Amino acid sequence: ITVAHATPVKESKLKTLGVRFQDSYQGKTFEVLGIHKAFKVDIAKFIEEIGAAANEHNKELVKELLKWNSKYDALVDELEATA
């Protein structure tokens, strides 16, 4: 075993576990970004309608929804910046 580990290996034969993860991560990132584009369109409509709902219903709940949507949007923007 020691001899096998001491044998020089061509760089082209070396592979890291990170490559498989990187490809998977990149694929999922693009999937999330595609979904997020549709989300941005739908959330813009939602924000327009939420004002009327806030007056009729629980204003605190509406604030929490808007806060969560804003946080989600920021997280995806951060993901997009690193993709």
d(CA 51, CA 42): 15
Total number of domains in the chain = 1
In a domain, 49, yes or no: yes
The owner of tokens 């804003």 is 70
d(CA 38, CA 8): 51
pTM across the whole model: 0.48
Confidence tier at 14 by pLDDT (50, 70, 90): low
In a domain, 81, yes or no: yes
In a domain, 79, yes or no: yes
For residue 10, what are the CA distances in angstroms to 14, 18, 20, 23?
Answer: 7, 19, 20, 23
Q: pLDDT of 44-75, one tens digit each?
A: 887 777 777 777 777 777 778 788 888 888 88
In a domain, 45, yes or no: yes
Q: What angle do CA 65, 29, 46 make, to 5 degrees?
A: 25
For the cut 80, the answer to whether the pLDDT of residue 37 exceeds it is yes
In a domain, 80, yes or no: yes
Indicate the average pLDDT of the chain: 73
Give the residue numbers spanning the domain of 59.
38-83
In a domain, 12, yes or no: no
In a domain, 2, yes or no: no
